[in-house]
Structure 1
Amino acid sequence: MFKSINSMMSSKKRCFFYYGFISLFLSLFVFMLGLYAYQLKNLEERSESAKNALTHRMNGIFLELKHIVDSSKLSCEKEDIDILRRTTFYSPIFKEIGLFNDDFRVYCTTYGPRDIAIFSSIVDRIKDSSERKTVSLVRSHSIGESTFFAFYQGAHGLGINGLAPPQALAVDVDYLLSPDLPYELTIGKQTVVSSEYSHKSLVLAKRVESLDDWAISLVVFSPFSLYWSHLVSLLPFIFIFCVLFCLIFYAAHGGILYYRHSLPLSIKRAIKDNAIDVHFQPIVSLKAGELHEMEALIRWHSPHHGQISPLVIVETAERLGLIDDLTWMVVRKVGDFYREYPTQLKEINISVNVDRYSLLKESFAPNLEGIITEYPELKGRLGLEVTETSALTDIELPLMVSRFEHIKTLGIRLSVDDFGTGYAGLDFLRRFPYDTLKLDKVFIDSLKDDQFTRQILISITKLAKELNMALVAEGVEREDQLEAVRALGVDRVQGYYFCRPLPKEQVIAWVEENSTK
């Protein structure tokens, strides 16, 4: 007992450790993936905002230059110089302003008259621009270092250039991006402003925004260092999610264990209480004037577990040693079905699936005989369908033959179910007195396209006729399958093409609607 308890405790510890490891991995994965997506989205949104701010500033710069040009004259008197100085004083960006003529020579600045030729490359860009404007990064004559220049030429040839420190251009960009996202602001091929960023640093992602009208580009970086710092800050939340995931997994594990342990008990109770339903699927005769047959199939909707597969019910009944109880329950419900609808079922045979190992039991035939005495309506109309899932031993073979002969004397028909998928070979058919051979659905599915399967079924059909056995094709769901089995000479069909398994009231309605007149 103590060993069992210790083993259980050890199993719970292993389970909890296993789920804890999975929860930690899943939490890290979710947060790392989510943070990565957030970083990309954040990079995209802030880069777009920085581009819009830069565009707004550039538009403001050229509106300011246009206003000055519109109020300036082609002269450099004291009054003109004072106007330029006053404009520079109040300008939010320019530190110096100059005027140039239609020969592209600067003739007047805030420092007085000048005669400076504008570089030819800048002149070409002004002429090529549809709005006669451009920007450049050139060395200033007045301050002796690289300076941001904005050029604009009015409609009458009078032009203006404004000088500003490169950092002034990036004030809004810096406000929107720093300190999280390093960036580089470039005019042409020259970098105007570069925030603190090492090219040796690992970069998670980068985004390039271009202002084509002014040959300006903005490259924004999302460094790995930012990603890791955010991830470290999220560690408390990762731990909380790890605990939640672990509890969820552990609760789900407990639910599965409860389901696995409670389902067999529920099935056992349902069998004992005769609570499992029996549905009936018609076996349709393709010959005119012949009556249909039916197969009884178990169905069960558990109040606690929902719809349960018939295979699960059968496997659980076998494991609990209740397969015979399940079989007798179905047979009795078939008997009740005959009693409830004696007129509609007067000449309709119904078959029931039976386990091969149940047939080998000495008590099977006497118990079946007792039920037929209890339900005389079953005699001559009940059939048993046997599936061979394993080969019979030398001891089991003669015993099975004896059981079959006894069953046949009770007026019970015998069918070999799912023929061709188990161990039911030719010698098997020769030894056992079957009345019906049922072709498995797997053959019907491949009958149309597989010539080899077709040849096999032709041989089986011929053998069945020689042994005076009826043939039933199972799993017929389409019209082309129906025509294929009809061409083989199979005259009985079972499948969704005609009717699915139905509760007794619905199948009676089907019989009344499809009965042969």
Structure 2
Amino acid sequence: MFIILALLVDIFWVVLDTEEKMEQSASIAVERMDALFTGIEKKLAAIDTSNDFCTESDRQALEDIIYDSVSIKEISFIRDNKIVCSDRSRQHNVDISRELPKNYSDFTGRFTYTAKDQRRNKNALFYLIPAQDMWVRVSLHLDYIDFWVSDFGARHSMKAKVIYNGNFVAGDAEVKNCDLLNLIEVDSQKYPYTVMTGYNGHLLLKAFKDQLLYAILIIFLISALFVVGLSSLCRNRRTLESEIVQAIKNNEFVGYLQPIVCSQTQQWRGAEILLRWEHPHNGLTTPAEFITIAENSGLINDITLKLLAEAARNKAVLDKINPDHYLSLNVTASMIANPFFVRKLISIIKHSPALQHGIVLEFTERETFTDDQLAQLQTGMTKLRQHGVTWALDDFGSGYSGLSRLQQLSFEVLKIDRAFVAASSTDTITHSILDSICNLAKRFDCDVIAEGIETTEQAERVNALGIKYCQGYLFAKPMSFSKYVSKLKKAQRQPVLDLAPKELEQIIEH
């Protein structure tokens, strides 16, 4: 596996590296060749071709241009297929029709071509520039251009050539396009040519071999970092897991209460128990920090039993304030499908008279079950219902099996997912879905609780739909039991009124 990863990294690295090098090298070659042609044209522009053209000083200027550039072999001014002026004094009115393209007079701009130099009887590279009623033909040293382009490619560990209109001009002539496994073309924006760079199989293999050691080192370092990170994660997991075990022994896990209120009167009818960890060093910690490890390790079962035992003590106090007040505790469906865990729950309820009424257990619809597991879940729910437990389906609508769960399992309460409540203010479709959920609840004889109420507008919509109960930050945030008792006593002294949502803030402040 290590070698395979190293090879894959090497291949990926070579592909990216060669792509970048090809484009960079071709761009550099174009830049240098553009500079060559631009320099030639600037010097030619300094020659006056209007009056008494081709004087000795004009030919001397052409010779100076050639002398300054090793790539230029000859410069000629052409009119009507004849040389009218050249750096060579003897070349005057020489007919060079056979060296010129047949249709060159149709061109209006610069162009490049190769042809046989009839005076030297060998191929030459020519560059034609329009100049008033003439053409300037620059004859380039083809051997030098070939060498320069080929050497340029070799110095960059690739093949390079210059093409014009798809035809080879200079460079690695023996390499055809089909021989290159990877290539790129960069056009000059000013002059009529294109530089092509690329890699054949031999060069790619060489690049692959050159980078293989680095790829192995990278994979080795990544693997080492991964092992160290995984080891650290496992240590942290074990540390957190051991901390959770110790926290259970020290009773550091407590239930914070968030009230569930009547939509019309805003009376506190019950409360949901929300898990918190009173960490000795980190302070009050929410489940987001530890719930995944607690669930994966199975420690969540012991935490839940601790919360239920705490709920028994707390409910005995709450019953003295309001005998009709209930508490709701979150469990997972897999807990209830576990007969051993159900027996533990029943044992706590049997020994706690306060839990034998007004206790709600809720779980979500997100878990999936086989037929056998579903039968065990139904059995567990039935046994606990026989001991006074009421069942609630939490986050209804957030899963894919809401209606089927309602048909297969019996619930007394539906808790609408907060996402529907939040979207109902602006989305008419979501508002319609809420209405459908309310009708479905009536069909199955379920009470409905809307979760996540944060604004008076949401409260008004929920109330208008006939949803009896609400829960959310608009009414109160989760709080400690002692604070909850204090607020519940004040709420009990409030007269029972049919209040509009806009009056909620006044009640909450008091």
TM-score by length of 1: 0.68
How far apart, CA to CA, are the structure 1 residues paired with 2:408 and 2:135? 106
How far apart, CA to CA, are the structure 1 residues paired with 2:269 and 2:75? 104
Is 1:514 the equivalent of 2:502?
no
| Partner of residue 359, structure 2 | 384
- 8 Å CA contact 1:72–1:80 kept in 2: the answer is no
How far apart, CA to CA, are the structure 2 residues paired with 1:216 and 1:477? 70
Once the two structures are superposed, what CA deviation does each residue of 1:251-279 show, in whole Å capped at 9, x if it has no partner? 34434544554444322221221111322
How far apart, CA to CA, are the structure 1 residues paired with 2:218 and 2:292? 39
Is 1:106 the equivalent of 2:83?
yes
Q: Could you tell me how far 1:44 is from its partner in structure 2?
A: 1.2
Q: In structure 2, do the counterparts of structure 1 residues 160 and 473 end up closer, same or farther at CA, with 3 Å as the change threshold?
A: closer
Match of 1:45 among 24, 29, 48: 24
More moved, 67-76 vs 104-113: 67-76
- 8 Å CA contact 1:184–1:194 kept in 2: the answer is yes
Match of 1:473 among 445, 449, 471: 449
Alignment of 1:88-487 (within 5 A): 92-100=70-78, 102-107=79-84, 110=88, 112-119=90-97, 125=104, 128-129=107-108, 134-152=111-129, 160-169=136-145, 173-174=149-150, 176-179=152-155, 180-188=157-165, 190-195=167-172, 197-199=174-176, 203-211=180-188, 214-259=191-236, 261-288=238-265, 290-300=267-277, 307-308=288-289, 313=294, 323-332=304-313, 349-353=325-329, 360=343, 363-365=347-349, 367-369=351-353, 383-387=358-362, 391=375, 403-404=387-388, 414-418=389-393, 437-441=412-416, 445=420, 448-449=432-433, 453-460=437-444, 463=445, 471-477=447-453, 486=463
TM-score by length of 2: 0.69
- 8 Å CA contact 2:262–2:468 kept in 1: the answer is yes
Once the two structures are superposed, what CA deviation does each residue of 1:124-170 show, in whole Å capped at 9, x if it has no partner? 6468536xx65432221210122123445655x57654433223345
How far apart, CA to CA, are the structure 2 residues paired with 1:175 and 1:394? 81
Q: Could you tell me how far 1:425 is from its partner in structure 2?
A: 7.3
How far apart, CA to CA, are the structure 2 residues paired with 1:510 and 1:76? 110
How far apart, CA to CA, are the structure 1 residues paired with 2:73 and 2:170? 18
Q: In structure 2, do the counterparts of structure 1 residues 150 and 296 end up closer, same or farther at CA, with 3 Å as the change threshold?
A: closer
Q: In structure 2, give the amino acid aligned to 1:42.
A: K
Q: State the SS of the aligned residue for 1:95.
A: strand
Q: Could you tell me how far 1:182 is from its partner in structure 2?
A: 1.3
How far apart, CA to CA, are the structure 2 residues paired with 1:72 and 1:88? 23
Q: In structure 2, give the amino acid aligned to 1:449.
A: I
Q: State the SS of the aligned residue for 2:23.
A: helix
Q: Could you tell me how far 1:439 is from its partner in structure 2?
A: 1.0
Identity of aligned residues (%): 14
Q: In structure 2, do the counterparts of structure 1 residues 254 and 202 end up closer, same or farther at CA, with 3 Å as the change threshold?
A: farther
> Mind listing any 5+ residue stretches in structure 1 that lack a counterpart?
1-20, 373-378, 405-413, 430-436, 465-470
- 8 Å CA contact 1:438–1:472 kept in 2: the answer is yes
- 8 Å CA contact 1:137–1:149 kept in 2: the answer is yes
Once the two structures are superposed, what CA deviation does each residue of 1:248-307 show, in whole Å capped at 9, x if it has no partner? 333344345445544443222212211113222120112337444322221237669984
Q: In structure 2, do the counterparts of structure 1 residues 75 and 308 end up closer, same or farther at CA, with 3 Å as the change threshold?
A: closer
Q: In structure 2, give the amino acid aligned to 1:514.
A: I
- 8 Å CA contact 1:54–1:170 kept in 2: the answer is no
Q: In structure 1, give the amino acid aligned to 2:360.
A: E
Is 1:33 the equivalent of 2:12?
yes
Once the two structures are superposed, what CA deviation does each residue of 1:496-515 show, in whole Å capped at 9, x if it has no partner? 66555345588689877635
Q: In structure 2, do the counterparts of structure 1 residues 66 and 353 end up closer, same or farther at CA, with 3 Å as the change threshold?
A: closer
Q: State the SS of the aligned residue for 1:45.
A: helix
Q: In structure 2, do the counterparts of structure 1 residues 279 and 25 end up closer, same or farther at CA, with 3 Å as the change threshold?
A: farther
Once the two structures are superposed, what CA deviation does each residue of 1:40-88 show, in whole Å capped at 9, x if it has no partner? 11111111111111111112233344456659955789x9888877775
Once the two structures are superposed, what CA deviation does each residue of 1:195-251 show, in whole Å capped at 9, x if it has no partner? 165337653432223346543222222334333322212222222223223333333
More moved, 139-148 vs 180-189: 180-189
Q: In structure 1, give the amino acid aligned to 2:478.
A: P
Q: State the SS of the aligned residue for 2:121.
A: coil
Q: In structure 2, do the counterparts of structure 1 residues 126 and 283 end up closer, same or farther at CA, with 3 Å as the change threshold?
A: same
- 8 Å CA contact 2:83–2:92 kept in 1: the answer is yes
Q: State the SS of the aligned residue for 1:501.
A: coil
Q: State the SS of the aligned residue for 2:351.
A: helix
Q: Could you tell me how far 1:444 is from its partner in structure 2?
A: 9.2
Q: State the SS of the aligned residue for 2:432.
A: coil
Q: How many residues align?
A: 453
- 8 Å CA contact 1:279–1:299 kept in 2: the answer is yes
Q: State the SS of the aligned residue for 2:93.
A: strand
- 8 Å CA contact 2:271–2:328 kept in 1: the answer is no
- 8 Å CA contact 1:448–1:481 kept in 2: the answer is no
How far apart, CA to CA, are the structure 1 residues paired with 2:108 and 2:378? 101
Q: State the SS of the aligned residue for 1:106.
A: strand
Once the two structures are superposed, what CA deviation does each residue of 1:17-56 show, in whole Å capped at 9, x if it has no partner? xxxx2x5444443343233222111111111111111111
Once the two structures are superposed, what CA deviation does each residue of 1:459-498 show, in whole Å capped at 9, x if it has no partner? 23xx46xxxxxx3415355888756754564422234665
- 8 Å CA contact 1:185–1:216 kept in 2: the answer is yes
> Mind listing any 5+ residue stretches in structure 2 that lack a counterpart?
364-372, 397-401, 421-429, 491-505
Q: In structure 2, do the counterparts of structure 1 residues 38 and 416 end up closer, same or farther at CA, with 3 Å as the change threshold?
A: same
The structure with the larger Rg is 1
